[in-house]
Amino acid sequence: MTVPRDTRVLLVGDYPPPNGGVATHVEELFRTLRARGATCEVLDIGKGQLPAQGVIPAGGLPRFSALLVSRAASGYRVHVHTSGANAKSWMLAQACAAAGRLSGGALITLHSGLGPDWLLESPARGAMARSVLAQFDRVIAVSAPIREALARCGVRDVEVVPAFSREFIQPGTPPDGLASLRAKAAPLYCAMIAPRREYAQDVLLRAFAEVRVKLPDAGLALYGPGSDSVSGAGVHAFGELHRPQALAVMAACDVFVRPTLADGDSVSVREALALGRRVVATSVGHRPAEVRLVPPGDAAALAEALVASSTETGTQRSSAAPDGVQRILSLYGVTACAASAAS
């Protein structure tokens, strides 16, 4: 990549830990920009807020506002990553749009599959979205359903860019207990869960209990925040994992499961396909063509699909998809060449 000497980017959003779609994408952009010689900092508004080189904990509102304004005034181009699924998200977007006027422009990426329903609940929300997004140079959605909802609100020129890059699919050291679980489970399913309704943990566990009736040796590896409190026959919970360990769990499984009730463009689904795993997921948000789909909230249908997927042979490779990170770099003025990013 060729980086203009004056490239300065301030990424505003969640940064790991905890790991998740938005945080993973922000970390990828951060690492890629810095590896290519650009000046990049992250204003971390997430729950972790652990200081690291180039990553600044946002803290409370006064500190966040001061940091945002100071970086924008110093010429940093602001790129905010947010859900778009609640009022707080849109207040953040407005603040970043205003800061962008100090630095000559701002971008926004909207990530959440809950965003469309929230926006379309009232005309006032649609009007608010039009007003806020008109202040950004670029509006990016991670999936077509988000773009379509914005279009219904009167927002035009929204580009769909998946929050995913194959460059960082590098499984790390497996967590303790994975090897023994892999040795005894036939088949081994895995899923990332979180303590929020849209992750449909209860649906997944009911479906897996049905699977165990037909496949008594089946195992289910769970990871993610709060997963260490989950138990059940055949269930092994690894808790919150750093991304390389999460990828190691995914790479060891036979089938990756995404039972969510709402989604944008799931990074974990794309990761699983990139690792050659078969994937069963609910028909919400964007799903690549290789994914076996089931209706959201239907434990019986999910169980049936999980059993069916266990009889398939070989691995599943995803078809080529645009690299979202490379596309966003081009929006910053970073042009492609043969060089690859450092880790």
**Confidence check: pLDDT of 54 > 70:** yes
Which residues is 156 bridged to in the sheet?
none
For residues 44 and 17, the answer to whether their CB atoms sit within 8 Å is no
The amino acid occupying position 170 is Q
Residue 52's domain comprises 8-165+323-331
- 186 shares a domain with 156: no
Q: Which is nearest to 260 in space by CA: 307, 214, 194?
A: 194
Domain count, the chain: 2
- The verdict on residue 226 lying in a domain is yes
Which residues have a Cβ under 8 Å from the Cβ of 111 and sit 6 or more positions away? 21, 22, 25, 81, 82, 83, 84, 142, 163, 264
Q: Give the Cα separation of 42 and 46 in Å (integer).
A: 11
Same domain flag for 256 and 144: no
Position 338 pLDDT exceeds 60? no
Q: How confident is the model at residue 119 (pLDDT cuts 50, 70, 90)?
A: very high
137-160 residue pLDDT tens: 999 999 999 999 999 999 999 999
Q: Would you say residue 320 has pLDDT above 70?
A: no
Could you tell me the pLDDT band of residue 17, with boundaries at 50, 70 and 90? confident
The lowest-confidence range among 73-77, 319-323, 328-332 is: 319-323
- Read off the tokens for 276: 């050659």
CATH of residue 251: 3.40.50.2000
Indicate if 175 and 305 belong to the same structural domain.
yes
Task: Report the mean per-residue pLDDT for the chain.
Answer: 91
What pLDDT score does 343 carry?
A: 38
Question: Does 182 have pLDDT greater than 50?
Answer: yes
Domain shared by 161 and 218, yes or no = no
Same domain, 206 and 140: no
Q: What is the pLDDT of residue 337?
A: 47
Q: What was the pLDDT predicted at 47?
A: 87
Residues 341 and 36: beta-carbon distance below 8 Å: yes
pLDDT tens digits along 87-116: 999 999 999 999 999 987 899 999 999 999
pTM for this model (two decimals): 0.84
The sheet with strand 278-282 has its strands ordered as 235-237, 219-223, 188-192, 255-258, 278-282, 292-294
